[in-house]
Amino acid sequence: MKNIIAASTSTVHGSGPLGYILDELSSFYKDTEEILFIPYARPGGITHDAYTSAVQKAFTNIGKTLRGIHEFENPVEAITKAKGIFTGGGNTFLLVSQLYKQEVMQPLREAIFDGTPYLGTSAGSNICGLTMQTTNDMPIIYPPSFKTLGVIPFNINPHYLDPIEGSTHMGETRETRIKEFHKFNTLPVVGIREGSWVRVKGDKVTLEGTHSARIFEQGNTPYELETGSEIIFS
């Protein structure tokens, strides 16, 4: 039975890394003391070791140990043996490229369907969708495919931002970008704001956290989904 938390971000304003969700994670990872961390997204280009060390500080607060997948000789075996997995944020293009390069995209998908608790933040949430095409990131590297884990039946846009009234910014809004996506793609998109997450237990998908989400469906007017609601598409 799938057991997933796909969060918009690792850090919200006024909180330390994962501080806003640590109580939830303590229960989420209750059956394991060691969590396999996938640092491939490398925010800001930091090393895998530096990223793992930084995230470990947050998990120390709930008595959990993190071990980076890059520390294993066989990353596929690391996935199959893991009792809990966390994929951090950063650049989604880089993350997806590395998942394919290390040949762990399919093993990771299988582990999630087998019930291994999976946490993703930002880029790590992006890859839960059917494709990575609703990422906010720059294409700094070319992945072999935009196809991702497909463990949820829609795409995610993390860090979703609403248009700011009176702003003089002339660039496209997130809503505009997602509407562009829907000119060529039929997949629904869930825009998750900072401090909220998608929770998956088996086939049930709900929105949790402090904010509503913005829902986009091809050919329909975007609408708000309140936190606590089940996410269902016809």
Active site residues: 122, 137, 159
What the block records as the tokens of 101 is 């390069």
**103 vs 30, 54, 108, 190, CA distance in Å?**
28, 26, 9, 28
Distance, in Å, from the CA atom of 42 to the CA atom of 48, rounded to the nearest integer, reads 7
Distance, in Å, from the CA atom of 228 to the CA atom of 214, rounded to the nearest integer, reads 14
What the block records as the tokens of 48 is 């895998």
CA nearest neighbour of 71 among 87, 49, 86: 49
**Residue 21: other Cβ atoms inside 10 A:** 24
